[in-house]
Amino acid sequence: MRKSIATVSVSGTLPEKLEAVAAAGFDAVEVFENDLIACPLPPEEIRRRAADLGLGIDLYQPLRDFEAVPGDVLRGNLRRAEHTLELMTRLGADTLLVCSNVSPDALPDDALAAEQLHLLAERAAGHGIRIAYEALAWGRHVNEYLHAWRIVRMAGHQGLGVCLDSFHILSRGSDPIGIEAIPGEKVFFLQLADAPRLAMDVLQWSRHYRCFPGQGGFDVTGLVRHVLATGYAGPLSLEVFNDVFRQSDARRTALDAMRSLIALEEALLPSGAPPVVPSGFAFAELATGGSAELPALLSALGFARTGTHRTKPVELWEQGGARVLLNANPATEGTATPEETEPGLVAIGLETPDPAASVKRAETLLAPVLPRERAPRDAPLDAIAAPDGTALFFCRTGHADHPDWTADFPRESPVPDGDVTGIDHVALTQPWQHFDEASLFYRSVLGLRPQESMEVADPYGLLRSRALAGGGTRLVVNIARVVGAHQAPRQHVAFAVRDLRALARRLRAEHPGLLLPIPANYHDHLEARYATDPEIRELGLLYDRDERGEFLHLYTVTAGQVFFELVQRIGGYGGYGAANAAVRLAVQHAERS
């Protein structure tokens, strides 16, 4: 299907927007009025630049507050409309979006609205232009898409149809099934936006919080199915007003937008290949930053170095099913970022049933595929870059028909069988403007299911956190908005533990200072709330429960950018102890200062 995007959805000047959108592979744009009137280039030049970039201008928008007005207001409106139609001729746009009237001048009179829209459609037809009428969710009298359709039908003009916008329809809770009552040839345009579910004024919600399909809480795919059932064959056009995207790199946002449409289109196809969901973690790779902190932490937790890479300063540490690579020199492997000069997570190995299919899917969804020669191992593993720069390797460990990366680490000692059984989850911190992008990335590329995002108080700011899970893989993406010097550690690796009480008892006895101290106030609160047993306080454990089970966890001190969490899930507990994250952040800040 033809893919289009409104210029309002990305940052920059109009020429910059066009370039970014073209580079991401879009076919066309909707030109937003504000972008045009602030642009020093004449419309003919904008048209030429778009054409040179291979972009059509599918729509110009919006003409506001036009219909259902008294006669004296109509005269002014027609003058405005005439100007817009002339401008569109110069721009080469053939569809004008008219959004429903929000002004106090508007009358609650459908027949009058229909008559005046008919008049406008007649004038527009003289310029070879069609009118797409859109119900804004906050329109004064017309705010439902079926109401807009009734008026369009009443007007009965060939050059007048409706514009459907998923945000306006779904934000009001309207049932999109009604779309199927509209003949496809009367749907002139389809605008798509998702949004997080927020209880707030709908205009503010629309103007600041829209996001790309797959990033919010609406069933945009389901709505598109109804639109396609009408026979609609026009563009899928993204129209996203979002305060973060307005400030982000336009090219990156445009790629994110394109990824969203590719994933949406795929979801529409009954034959679409389902995502290859990773079944768990093969390894976590940490840069040591040349310090002994990480090996010391791991051996205290019961890990042992089981192998050393044949040619590279990389060690394999294992316990139970948990594997950690300690890399003394990741910068020479071509993945250098400033964080790598201190201990931190640089890569994650994911177990997938079909590594080739995983990387192919990642490529289809515009994930940056890392060149093989940059892979820090000798076994030919495919890797992609996650939005925060972490490398994600696709592995099929222990299957003879796939490259055996563990063979690069000749075995030095057996794998200890201690309390740690595997990697439960990995948490990554995104730059704040990449939160929605990261959610969509992990959801579409890896097929993980996002959970609701949560907000956690940090003593110096706010942490937003979203867990994504599927097939035995759990990731947590965080963004922290905190004042300069008070950054919390960026990453953690959480190990699954069989008996956390036993492990905590041992660690407290043998390695005082290794675990993060938990305030007594926390345990007072916990006992009042859950009547937890005194051992939880004695051992300094954190605790949570949900309707399916219980969760015990604790944290180590931090090394560079990374720390370890130890978790024990009891019953079917499905969370991450988010209620305790604020306590952890406060203690980590105190520990640093």
Ligand X SMILES: O=C(O)c1ccc(O)c(O)c1
Cβ distance to Mg ion smaller for residue 67 or 239:
239
Helix (H) or strand (E) holding 165: strand 160-165
Residue 221 near residue 268 (C-beta atoms within 8 A): yes
Q: How far is CA 247 from the centre of its chain?
A: 16
Q: State the binding partner of 7 from ligand X, Mg ion, none, CB within 5 to 8 A by kind.
A: none
By CB under 6 A, tell whether 97 contacts ligand X: yes
R_g of the chain computed on alpha carbons:
28
The CA distance from 148 to 133, in Å, is 7
Q: State the binding partner of 207 from Mg ion, ligand X, none, CB within 5 to 8 A by kind.
A: ligand X
Q: State the binding partner of 194 from ligand X, Mg ion, none, CB within 5 to 8 A by kind.
A: none
**CB 16, min distance to Mg ion, A:** 22
CB under 5 A: which stretch of 70-78, 139-147, 163-171, 382-390 binds Mg ion?
163-171
Residue ranges of alpha helices (H) inside 178-274 are 202-209, 220-229, 250-268
Q: Contacting ligand X (CB under 6 A), which of 207, 374, 498, 592?
A: 207
Backbone angles phi, psi at 268, to 5 degrees: -75, -25
195 token code pair: 């949004």
Cβ distance to ligand X smaller for residue 206 or 352:
206
Cβ distance to ligand X smaller for residue 168 or 323:
168
By CB under 6 A, tell whether 62 contacts ligand X: yes
The CA distance from 584 to 593, in Å, is 14
Cβ distance to Mg ion smaller for residue 64 or 506:
64
Q: How far is residue 300 from each of residues 152, 294, 417, 511, measured CA to CA in Å?
A: 72, 10, 14, 7
Near ligand X in 534-593, by CB under 6 A: none
Q: How far is residue 384 from each of residues 115, 223, 226, 312, measured CA to CA in Å?
A: 56, 32, 35, 21
Cβ distance to Mg ion smaller for residue 191 or 358:
191
The mark string for 281-310 relative to ligand X (x by CB under 6 A, - otherwise) is: ------------------------------
User: Which positions ≥6 away from 45 have C-beta within 8 Å?
Assistant: none
How many helices (H) and strands (E) in the chain? Answer: 17, 25
The CA distance from 478 to 454, in Å, is 9
**CB 191, min distance to ligand X, A:** 6
**CB 215, min distance to ligand X, A:** 17
CB neighbourhood size of 521 (10 A): 9
**CB 584, min distance to ligand X, A:** 40
**CB 134, min distance to Mg ion, A:** 5
The CA distance from 12 to 394, in Å, is 36
250-268 and 220-229 helices cross at what angle (nearest 10)?
Answer: 60
By CB under 5 A, tell whether 191 contacts Mg ion: yes
Cβ distance to ligand X smaller for residue 124 or 391:
124
Name the residue with tokens 């039908």. 153
Cβ distance to ligand X smaller for residue 27 or 165:
165
Residues at the binding site are: 134, 165, 191, 239, 425, 492, 565
Cβ distance to Mg ion smaller for residue 140 or 360:
140
Near ligand X in 230-249, by CB under 6 A: 239
By CB under 6 A, tell whether 113 contacts ligand X: no
194 SS3 class: strand
The mark string for 239-268 relative to Mg ion (x by CB under 5 A, - otherwise) is: x-----------------------------
CB under 5 A: which stretch of 45-53, 101-109, 191-199, 383-391 binds Mg ion?
191-199
**CB 165, min distance to ligand X, A:** 5
The CA distance from 89 to 92, in Å, is 5
Q: State the binding partner of 388 from ligand X, Mg ion, none, CB within 5 to 8 A by kind.
A: none
State which residue has the least CB distance to ligand X.
Answer: 62
Q: How far is residue 391 from each of residues 334, 345, 474, 479, 593, measured CA to CA in Å?
A: 11, 9, 16, 18, 31
**CB 544, min distance to Mg ion, A:** 41
**CB 167, min distance to Mg ion, A:** 7
By CB under 6 A, tell whether 139 contacts ligand X: no
Q: Contacting Mg ion (CB under 5 A), which of 58, 65, 165, 266?
A: 165
The mark string for 174-193 relative to ligand X (x by CB under 6 A, - otherwise) is: -----------------x--
**CB 205, min distance to ligand X, A:** 10
Q: Quick one: residue 65, left, alpha or beta (phi over 0 = left, psi -120 to 50 = alpha)?
A: left
The CA distance from 205 to 196, in Å, is 9
Binding site for ligand X (CB under 6 A): 61-62, 97, 99, 134, 136, 165, 191, 206-207, 239
Binding site for Mg ion (CB under 5 A): 165, 191, 239
